[in-house]
Each structure stands twice: as structure tokens, then as C-alpha cells.
Structure 1
Amino acid sequence: MATTTHSTRRLPVREPAAHVRGVLRAPFTAGTWRRAAYQVSALPVGLACVPLALCGAPTGRWQRALIRRLLGIDLAAGPRAGLAHALLAAPLNLVTAVVTLYGWSLVPMNLGWPLRAGSDHSDAWGGPTFAGAWAFHAVVGGLGFLLLMPWLGRGLTRLQTGLARRLLARPALTADAHAHADADGDADADAGGDAGADADAGGAA
């Protein structure tokens, strides 16, 4: 009687130390600053595209080019929705730009707290001593936001690109969709191979 063995795939498990290294390195990666650049530039570019789209300019192509250049996401050309995306994305782009600019500005403001502190530190966070107030601002407001903003930026950028996929491209034709399709196809092929092995084993039995 033939027996078959099935190989199981084990997903790689990141160790806690790897997670910590990822959090500490995130503020200093090129991807973080490219996302920040898109979060800030998406609003003025979108607003500029509104009158240009009314004049017949290819604003959808320009907005896709901005996403491709800063985020590395290649959106396949879809319907002519440059004006719709510029208008509908404006509220989200406004919130994203404000959060990005304010959040990142808190880092130097708090690390350099003594430059803007007065002579009386009794009412300051971490006071009443100068050293305590500076330590509190530097750790919580400076380092805290330095580590937080890259991950907050990822979430905001995911919302922005999700809206762009719906309005500027056909999702099934985006590069990301192709990658997911390839991954699903590999998984289906593996499943089919296992099913074929079961069938051969059954025939041999």
C-alpha cells in the first residue's frame, strides 16, 4: 500500500529583535522619506490638476507618474479620471499633508526644546527642572514621533494609493495586482501538484 507524504510550507517568523530593528531603522530609510514626499506633494499637485483637467490636460497620467516616481507603484492606464481623482482625493490629501508636516515638525521642535523654552520650567512637561523638562520633550515628543511617523505615514499612503487605484487605473492591471496574481498562481500550482500526487497515489493503491 503506497503512502504519500505532504510537505508543508512554514512561513518565516520574524524574531522580536528583527521587529525592533525594523522600527528603529524605519525613520532613516529612503522609502519613508519618499512616502513623506508624496504625502506632502499629492495635495498641491492634485489641486493644480483640477483646472488643467478642465482644459483637457492628461492629469491622470501626471498623477500616476507622481505615484510611480515617489512610491514605486506602477498603475496601468485606466479611464480618464484625473479630474475625479484630483477632487475626491483632495480632503484625504489635505489631512495627510497636515498630519505629515505637523508630525515630523514635532521631532526637531522637541529635540531642540531648550531653544524655545523660557526661563520658567515649573509648568513645563517634565518640570520643574530644566533637565527633566528637556528629557521629557526629547524622549516623548522627539524620539517618540520620530519612531511613530514612518508607520503612520504608511497607513496614510495606503489610503491614498487605494483611492488612486480605484480612480486612476484598472486594479486588475496594476503591477501589484500582477504580483498578487502570480503569487496566487504559484499557490494554486502547488495545490494542483499535491492533488495530482494524491491521485497518483490512489491509482497505485
Structure 2
Amino acid sequence: MNTAPSVLARGLRTALTEPFRPDTWRRVGYLLLALPVGLLAVPLALMGGPAGRLQRGLVARLLGRRIEEPAGGRPAALAHAVLALPLNAVGLVTTVYGWSLVPLNLGWPLRPLLGMGTGDYAEAWGGPTFAGAWALHALAGGVGFLLLMPWVGRGLTALQARLAVGLLGPRRIGAGRAVLLAALVAAVGTAVAVPVAHQL
């Protein structure tokens, strides 16, 4: 019995429905809130406040990952807040930029009205016709990012959850590897941000 078509159909259905699932939007919420919560957790941990509880609560509520409280909470909460900041910053910028491309490209003809572009579709990608330029922007930039961003968010939040479990949980198993991977992702994200920022 050949199950390849059914596996392919399930995969296609998952890819097409992922942008509309509640879990996707909870991950987006986490990516948007992780940096402000991490910034708040640094002074909170330094003052002996409930920084670890705050960070574990965010992971539990939005990522569905329950983390038991360790014995020495304050140093772990401070370590997580500081070490996760670069990754949280990359997650926030990637989320805002990637998801904003969806309406910007679907509504490409409205850009000149918003002061974003000249409206000269002859030189635009997909030009020289208006229909071609809009179609390319809508399909590649609009629908393309609509289908891509849930998976980017899934990868970033999986790494952030791993880092939280490694640093905020009772056992520090795999924390070093998670910190190195988070640093690598943050470095790559920063390197990619430079040309993107110049394009804006």
C-alpha cells in the first residue's frame, strides 16, 4: 500500500493551515514578549524578585512547556535573562519584519499611498505590468511569508524553550549546548539584519 500521496497531502494541509492555528499565534506572542520580559527579569533577578517565575510562566502560558522550579532560583533566572537577550532580540525583529511583509506585499498597490515607494511598477519586481508586479509581490512576498513565518517562529521558540528548560529548570542538562546554539543564531541573525536594515 502506497502511503506517499496521503503523507504528502497531510504535509501540504499542515503547511497551508499552519498560519491560522492558535499555536502559531501563541508562538508569535512569545516572540514579541520574550525580549521585554527578559529585560524586566534582569533587574528583577538582581533585586531578588520572582524573575524565574515570570520567565517560566511566559514559557508555560505561550509555549505550553512547564518547567519545574530549581532550588537556587535567582542565579538561574539572571543567567537566563542575560543569555537569552540576544536570541530574544533576534526573535522579536525577525517576527515583526517577517510578518509585516505579508500585508505589505499583499497590499503592494497601496504602498505609494502610505509613502512607501514611487508606484512605478515598470521597474518593480514582476514588472513591467501592474498585474505582474502585484502578482509577484503578493505571491512571493505575501503568501510566501505567510507560509514561511510560522516555521521560522517554530524554530526560534523551540530553541528559546530549550534554553529556558536548560537554564531555568532543576537540571542543567544540555544548557551549554543550548547557549552555544542560541549565540550562533543570534550572531547569524545580527549578520543578516545589517543588509536588511540597509534595504529599508
TM-score scaled by length of structure 1: 0.75
Query: 1:135-161, CA deviations, whole angstroms, 9 ceiling, x for partnerless residues?
Result: 000000000000000011110011101
Matched, 1:88 2:87: no
Shift of the alpha carbon at 1:71?
Answer: 1.0
**Rg larger in 1 or in 2?**
1
Asked if 1:104 is matched to 2:99, the reply is: yes
Structure 2 residue identity aligned to 1:129: T
Amino acid at match of 1:51: P
Verify: 1:15 aligned to 2:7, yes or no: yes
1:114 is aligned, of 100, 106, 109, to 109
Among 60, 63, 68, the residue aligned to 2:60:
68
Q: Which residue of structure 1 aligns with residue 195 of structure 2?
A: none
**Secondary structure, in 3 states, of the residue corresponding to 2:121?**
coil
Is this contact kept in 1: 2:166–2:172, CA < 8 A?
A: no
Q: 2:111 touches 2:119 (CA, 8 Å); kept in 1?
A: no
RMSD: 1.8
Query: Quick check: 1:164 aligned with 2:164?
Result: yes
Give SS of 1:77's match: coil
CA distance in 2 between partners of 1:28 and 1:121 (Å) = 31
Q: In structure 1, what is the equivalent of residue 183 of structure 2?
A: none
**Superposition deviation, residue 172 in structure 1:** 8.9
Gaps of 5+ in 2: 113-117, 174-200
User: Structure 2 CA distance, aligned partners of 1:157 and 1:116?
Assistant: 32
How many residues are treated as equivalent by the alignment? 162
- Determine the C-alpha separation between the residues in 2 that align with 1:22 and 1:69: 23
Between the aligned residues of both structures, percent identity stands at 59
Deviation, 1:53, is: 1.2
Q: 1:45 aligns with which of 37, 57, 61?
A: 37
Q: How far apart are residue 48 of structure 1 and its match?
A: 0.8
Q: Match of 2:52, as an amino acid?
A: G
Distance (Å, rounded) in 2 between the aligned partners of 1:119 and 1:95: 31
| CA deviation string 1:41-88 (max 9, x = no partner) | 000000011111111101001100111111111001124111111000
Tell me the equivalent position of 2:186.
Answer: none
Answer 1 or 2: which has greater helix percent: 2
**Partner residue in 2 for 1:142:** 142
TM-score (norm 2): 0.77
CA deviation after TM superposition for structure 1 residue 110, in Å: 0.2
Give the partner amino acid of 2:131: A
Per the alignment, in what secondary structure is the counterpart of residue 125 of structure 2?
Answer: coil
Q: SS in structure 2 opposite 1:127?
A: coil
